[in-house]
């Protein structure tokens, strides 16, 4: 017997038939003796339809009213799910974000949870009912309806799991968990049984789309165990929790691919103090998220600055750079929308030097050219051309033997720690070459998309 | 400059185009210097769609969850209307029933308003904003979402008008106000400029569909002036308010027609004390609303009991009577679904005897047979066959000169008070004949559909 919070996304509740399937799953969990809370999103098509209506009314709908509108989506889902459970003869009760006491700040459309008052959840569980909560939404201290932005329903689930002290927060989606690589790209990708929050955060930040960074961070901060699993099967998925000494730490947990960014370069700016600060200061003012940054300097006191940014921010970023180019008498602004970021993530990397070198060698053998590199203690990311990105992922997945069996510290063959000194041979472009090929040094760190 | 509460029903906000038209109207009122509150219903098609979804999930959806579901309908409308106003550059803010403090009892699907805490409405008006409120919905003291049932949005509007002390509560619909008769039946029907609450209540109870009885009662109890007017024109409609001495009291305000009821008769029950109590007690237990009742007794100690009930309650009523017929060894149960109730309403009737007689004479001349009669001090209703009902309405409208000019006390021709002693000549069936033909005596009163 456990206290389980489950979360079902828009696809899982996308039709009345899907909602019935979710109801059956919740009933099975309840009848197995668990206390069950379900957090659900709006039905998949509903949010789009409401957004379209809003834009018919107003080119730029006020965000407060947009939240008022969109929050009806989950309210419909929770009521229908409670009805589906009632139709099976069990007792369920639904709550909106407001009713369940998800108190947020007042930043409409991307509010942050300040506190949760889950008393009504505890009370309803105490009465033996299945509790259904609207994800994605909250309420400010003075009663305004807010939405939590992208991945908001996951955060609702984690926040409630934390508040009621759930044993696990199960996040259901259309995949069975976190894989060593995207199975659509790497057919023999393997499901990962366990990950630390830290690894999951790096994977999420690098493009593993199953779990949102914000919810993993929230789970880490509040010690909530996440179980990422499939709506369509009973298979065990991936557990994400605090790393403990007994946990086998894979050197490499997975390879990720992110094609959602674009690269911009401003060429021929003066190489003097304050130029980079000016460029990124102006970008920040326009709310442009910046991930990886490279600056290289020529002999003539002239520099090139490149950075990557989400495609969504590209138009705004381009505007800023065009303006700066005039102001700074830069030579030109270049945009490359077809880049891809390939990342290798693994907590064991921290204690095993030479991973970067081995990564670059493998990419070179596959004829993949590297344009930018960034690292964290447990991640190495390379920007390459989109055209060669899938080959890059397959080459790395193969090189580190991820498909067959996880390489753990215990199982690690001797000699794996070989030096990364060969980095300069690896097809790494001059612009992006790290000084040593060793993670964490010589490469400007990105801002993680913050 | 006035403080105006306006209410727009589901047809008035049935499409984005309609919502824009409502926005324009509100803006015009605001720009004319008024403080403006709008109460809106769900878009016309939305409630049906949600109800259909609910029944796909569950044959008998729990009423609490049904309220959770249906209350999203108005929430969508208020957000879209606020956006439409924002698109025109004015400042609007929307509130759900919960936010605006419409506190109700816990009777889901037909909750009654207990109190209104309109502080946020007053505050937003104070900031110069147009305030938009979701009709039809409220919240219980412990935070459960409720809906107010049929006509609920009208009641929301009247309740808010009362709470904030509005000068008038304008209820918009697709007709221009209250008419002396349904213009589709009587082409020269005349719009009534002013009515007392009492007259409006009798008209509403007798089938004038524009205003709901509940909201008129609420308005009367709280002294809210109602203005019933059209969404599609700027014409003045009908004002409903407390009768005052200066108000010209028409003897007859209007003629109504109600074809929504059916008549049931249980023939040949024993004529002994307690039989009527048993019949209507059993009907009440099954929630059958009863309007008019006639019992007549033959010489042999055998009675026939007839009553009318809304068509919606007919199946339940029939079940009860069939069971009772066996139990009481009654002769038979008769059902007539094609009846119509024709009513004459007017506050001046109270001080002018002979109206009933004149009504019956006019109907007899038009060859309309009367099956049942009931009266109040300001109303006379006759049940007749549906086939002759429209002729009956036209004959009465003509007889009392309603189409040309209201007959007021001041203008009343002498001799109008002539006796009603001729009732027995009027084609009144034996079953329904009142003893005297005088309103208020000899006829069992209906329960007004309560």
| Residue B129 half-sphere exposure toward CB, CA atoms < 13 A | 17
CB nearest A80 (choices: B69, B120, B143): B69
Q: How far apart are CA B113 and CA B219, in angstroms?
A: 13
Whether B69 sits inside 8 A of A75 (CB atoms) is: yes
pLDDT computed for residue A435 by the predictor: 33
* Mutation choice for A interface testing from B83, B132, B134 by most A CBs within 10 A: B83
Range of weakest confidence among A71-80, A377-386, A427-436, B306-315: A427-436
The span from the CA of A66 to the CA of A64, in Å, is 5
- Percent of chain B at pLDDT above 70? 88
User: What is the predicted pLDDT for the residue at B245?
Assistant: 64
Cβ contact A83–B57 (<8 Å): yes
Residue A404 pLDDT class (50, 70, 90 cuts)? low
Checking if the pLDDT of A438 tops 70, the result is no
A410 interface with B at CB cutoff 8 Å: no
Using CB atoms, which residue from B57, B87, B145 is nearest to A57? B87
A72 Cβ under 8 Å from any chain B Cβ: yes
pLDDT the model gives residue A437: 32
Contact indicator for B289, B449 with CB cutoff of 8 Å:
yes
Distance CA A294, CA A267 (A): 12
Min Cα distance A417 → chain B (Å) is: 59
A221 touches chain B (CB under 8 A): no
- Chain A positions touching B53 (Cβ under 8 A) are 16, 76, 80
pLDDT in tens, A147-162: 998 889 999 999 999 9
* Strand blocks (E) in A54-125: 92-95, 102-104, 113-116
CB A252 within 8 A of CB A400: yes
Contact assignment for A57 to B120 by CB distance below 8 Å:
no
Per-residue pLDDT tens for A203-243? 988 888 788 888 999 999 999 999 999 988 889 999 999 98
Pairing of strands B332-336, B261-270: antiparallel
Tell the burial category of A277 from Cβ atoms under 10 Å away from its Cβ (0-12, 13-18, 19+). Answer: exposed
Of the ranges A444-448, B101-105, B446-450, the best mean pLDDT one: B101-105
In chain B, residues with a C-beta closer than 8 Å to the C-beta of A62 are 82-83, 86
Residue in A closest to B84 by C-alpha: A57
Q: Which of A244-258, A384-398, B70-84 has the lowest mean pLDDT?
A: A244-258
Over 50: is that where the pLDDT of B30 sits? yes
Q: Using the beta-carbon criterion (under 8 Å), do A87 and B53 form an inter-chain contact?
A: no
Any idea which of A32-46, A260-274, B47-61, B421-435 has the lowest mean pLDDT?
Answer: B421-435
B99 close to A (CB below 8 A): yes
For the cut 70, the answer to whether the pLDDT of residue B290 exceeds it is yes
Q: How many residues does chain B have?
A: 450
For testing the chain B interface, which of A83, A130, A143 should be mutated: the one with the most B CBs within 10 Å?
A83
B431 vs A175, higher pLDDT: A175
Query: What mean pLDDT is predicted for residues A75-80?
Result: 98
Name the more confident of B74 and B205: B74
pLDDT of A422 reads 31
Q: Is A127's Cβ below 8 Å from some Cβ in B?
A: no
Per residue in B255-278, pLDDT (tens digit) is 999 999 999 999 999 888 888 889
Q: A446 near A293, Cβ under 8 Å?
A: yes
pLDDT band at A250 (very low <50, low <70, confident <90, very high): confident
How deeply is B318 buried, as exposed, middle or buried, from its count of CB atoms within 10 A (0-12, 13-18, 19+)? middle
DSSP letter string over A291-309? --EEEEE-TTSEEEEEEEE
Closest-CA residue of chain A to B70? A76
Contact A80 B57 (CB under 8 A): yes
Task: State how far residue A157 is from chain B, nearest Cα, in angstroms.
Answer: 20
Stretch B36-63: mean pLDDT, rounded?
Answer: 96
Residue B117: band (very low, low, confident or very high) from pLDDT cuts 50, 70, 90: very high
d(CA B276, nearest CA chain A) in Å: 39
Task: Give the residue among B313, B419, B422, B408 at the shortest CA–CA distance from B364.
Answer: B422
In whole angstroms, what is the distance from residue A422 CA to residue A437 CA? 8
Q: B259 in helix, strand or coil?
A: coil
Do residue A83 and residue B54 have CB atoms under 8 angstroms apart? yes
**How distant is the Cα of A58 from the closest Cα of chain B, in angstroms?**
5
pLDDT for the residue numbered B246: 61
- Look at residue B417 in the predicted model and tell me its pLDDT: 36
**What distance lies between CA B112 and its chain's CA centroid?**
16
In the predicted structure, residue B21 carries a pLDDT above the cut 90: yes
The sheet carrying B293-297 orders its strands as: B293-297, B302-310, B261-270, B332-336
Q: How many residues would you count in chain A?
A: 450
From B60's Cα to the closest Cα of chain A, the distance in A is 8
Mutate to test the interface with A, among B18, B57, B67 (most CBs of A within 10 A): B57
Q: What is the rounded distance in angstroms from the CA atom of residue A50 to the CA atom of residue A56? A: 10
Using a CB-CB distance cutoff of 8 angstroms, which residues of chain B are in contact with residue A118?
A: none
Which letter does DSSP use for residue B276 in this model? H
Residues of chain A numbered 365-384 and touching chain B (CB < 8 Å): none
DSSP B336-384: ETTEEEEEEE-GGGGG-TTHHHHHHHHHHHTTPPB-EEEEETTEEEEEE
Considering only CB atoms, A69 lies closest to which of B54, B68, B79, namely B79
Q: Determine the average pLDDT of the residues in B5-11.
A: 95
Q: What is the mean pLDDT of residues A247-258?
A: 84
When the pLDDT of each residue in chain A is averaged and rounded to a whole number, the result is 87
Distance from CA of A19 to the nearest CA of B (A): 8
Percentage with pLDDT > 90 across chain B: 70
Q: What pLDDT sits at residue A249?
A: 67
DSSP B174: S
Q: Which residues lie below 8 Å from residue B357, measured CB to CB, with a gap of 6+?
A: B418, B419, B420, B421, B422, B423, B426, B437
* Contact (Cβ atoms closer than 8 angstroms) between residue A399 and residue A351: no
Tell if the CB–CB gap between A16 and B83 is shorter than 8 Å: no
Mean pLDDT, chain B, as a whole number? 87
Q: Is A107 on the interface with B (CB under 8 A)?
A: no
pLDDT score for A167: 97
Which residue from A minimizes the CA distance to B66?
A: A79
Beta carbons of A87 and B57 less than 8 Å apart: yes
Q: Is A20 on the interface with B (CB under 8 A)?
A: yes
Going by pLDDT thresholds of 50, 70 and 90, the confidence category of residue A302 is: confident
A16 → closest Cβ in B53, B83, B84: B53
Taking only the tens place, the pLDDT of each residue in B434-444 is 333 333 332 23
- Cβ-Cβ pairs closer than 8 A, A with B, add up to 107
Residue B72 near chain A (CB below 8 Å): yes
Q: Is B146 on the interface with A (CB under 8 A)?
A: no
Beta-carbon separation of B57 and A64 below 8 A: no
Interface probe, candidates B47, B79, B92, B94, chain A, greatest A C-beta count within 10 A: B79
Q: Which of A43-52, B146-155, B204-213, B221-230 has the least mean pLDDT?
A: B204-213
Chain B nearest CA to A65, separation (Å): 5
Calculate how close chain A gets to B143, using CA atoms only, in Å.
7
Would you say A65 and B83 are in contact if contact means Cβ atoms under 8 Å apart? Answer: yes
Residue B324 pLDDT exceeds 90: yes
Chain A CB contacts of B88 below 8 Å: none
Among A410-414, B1-5, B232-236, B290-294, the least confident range: A410-414
C-alpha distance from B131 to closest chain A C-alpha (Å): 12
Distance from CA of B169 to the nearest CA of A (A): 25
Whether the predicted pLDDT of B422 surpasses 70: no
Residue B137 near chain A (CB below 8 Å): no
Closest-CA residue of B relative to A70 is: B76
B15 part of contact set with chain A, CB < 8 Å: no
In the structure, what pLDDT confidence band is assigned to residue A425 with cuts at 50, 70 and 90? very low
Looking at residues B333-352, what average pLDDT do you find?
91
Predicted pLDDT of residue A245: 64
Q: Are A20 and A81 in contact (CB under 8 A)?
A: no
């Amino acid at each position: 017997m456990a206290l389980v919070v489950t979360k079902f996304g828009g696809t899982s509740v996308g039709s009345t038939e899907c909602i019935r399937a979710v109801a059956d799953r919740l009933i099975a969990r309840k009848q197995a003796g668990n206390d069950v809370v379900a957090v659900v999103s709006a039905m998949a098509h509903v949010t789009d339809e409401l957004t379209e209506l809003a834009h018919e009314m107003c080119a730029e709908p006020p965000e407060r009213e947009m939240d008022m509108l969109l929050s009806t989506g989950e309210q419909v889902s929770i009521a229908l799910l409670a009805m589906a459970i009632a139709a099976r003869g069990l007792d369920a009760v639904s709550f909106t974000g407001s009713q369940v006491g998800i108190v947020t700040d007042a930043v409409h459309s991307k509010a942050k949870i300040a506190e949760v008052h889950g008393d009504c959840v505890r009370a309803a569980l105490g009465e033996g009912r299945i509790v259904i909560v609207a994800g994605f939404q909250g309420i400010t201290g003075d009663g305004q309806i807010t939405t939590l932005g992208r991945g908001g329903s996951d955060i609702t689930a984690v926040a409630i799991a934390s508040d009621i002290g759930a044993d696990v927060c199960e996040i259901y989606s259309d995949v069975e968990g976190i894989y060593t690589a995207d199975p659509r790209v790497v057919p023999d990708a393997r499901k990962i049984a366990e990950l630390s929050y830290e690894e999951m955060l790096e994977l999420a930040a690098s493009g593993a789309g199953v779990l949102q960074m914000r919810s993993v961070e929230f789970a880490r901060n509040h010690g909530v165990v996440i179980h990422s699993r499939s709506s369509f099967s009973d298979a065990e998925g991936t557990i994400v929790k605090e790393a403990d000494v007994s946990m086998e730490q894979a050197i490499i947990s997975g390879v990720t691919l992110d094609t959602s960014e674009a690269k911009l370069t401003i060429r021929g700016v003066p190489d003097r103090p304050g130029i980079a600060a000016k460029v990124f200061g102006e970008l920040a003012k326009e709310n442009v998220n910046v991930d990886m940054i490279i600056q290289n300097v020529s002999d003539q006191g002239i520099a090139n600055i490149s950075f990557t940014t989400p495609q969504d921010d590209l138009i705004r970023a381009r505007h800023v750079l065009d303006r700066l180019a005039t102001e700074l008498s830069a030579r030109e602004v270049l945009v490359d929308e077809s880049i891809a970021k390939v990342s290798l993530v693994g907590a064991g990397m921290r204690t095993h030097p030479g991973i970067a070198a081995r990564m670059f060698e493998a990419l070179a053998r596959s004829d993949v050219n590297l344009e930018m590199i960034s690292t964290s203690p447990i991640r190495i990311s390379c920007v390459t051309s989109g055209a060669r990105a899938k080959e890059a992922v397959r080459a790395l997945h193969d090189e580190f033997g991820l498909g067959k069996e996880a390489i753990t510290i215990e199982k690690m063959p001797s000699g794996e720690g070989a030096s990364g000194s060969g980095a300069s041979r690896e097809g790494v472009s001059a612009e992006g070459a790290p000084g040593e090929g060793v993670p964490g040094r010589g490469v400007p760190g990105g801002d993680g998309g913050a």
